[in-house]
Amino acid sequence: MRRLLLCLICCLLAVALRGLALAAPPQPSDLAPIVAQDAAVLPGDPAWPLTRQDSGALRFAVSLDPQAVPPDAASDLASPGAFRIDFNLSAAVEDCACIGTSVRQSHYRSRGIEFAVRASRPLAGVIFLTTSNPDDRKSQDRFFGTFVVGTQWKVLRLAFRSLAAWPSWPAEARRAGLKPGDLVLRPDSMEAIRIGVDARRTEPGQGALWVGGVRFFR
Burial call 160-196: b when 16+ CB within 10 Å, e when fewer: beebeebeebbeebeeeebebbeeebbbebbbbbbbb
Q: Work out the pLDDT band at 34, boundaries 50, 70, 90.
A: very low
Return all residues near 127 (Cβ < 8 A) that are at least 6 apart.
113, 144, 145, 146, 147, 158, 163, 193, 194, 195
pLDDT value of residue 108: 86
Return all residues near 49 (Cβ < 8 A) that are at least 6 apart.
62, 101
More confident residue, 10 or 184: 184
Question: Is the pLDDT reported for residue 13 higher than 50?
Answer: no
CA-based nearest residue to 104, from 196, 199, 45, 188? 188
CA-based nearest residue to 218, from 42, 33, 37? 37
**Domains of the chain by range and CATH?**
35-217 (2.60.120.430)
pLDDT value of residue 32: 36
How far apart (Å, rounded) are the C-alpha atoms in residues 203 and 11? 73
How far apart (Å, rounded) are the C-alpha atoms in residues 49 and 172? 22
More confident residue, 5 or 115: 115
- State pLDDT tens for residues 114-164: 999 999 999 999 999 999 999 999 999 999 999 999 999 999 999 999 999
Cβ pair 81, 65 in contact under 8 A: yes
How far apart (Å, rounded) are the C-alpha atoms in residues 216 and 218? 7
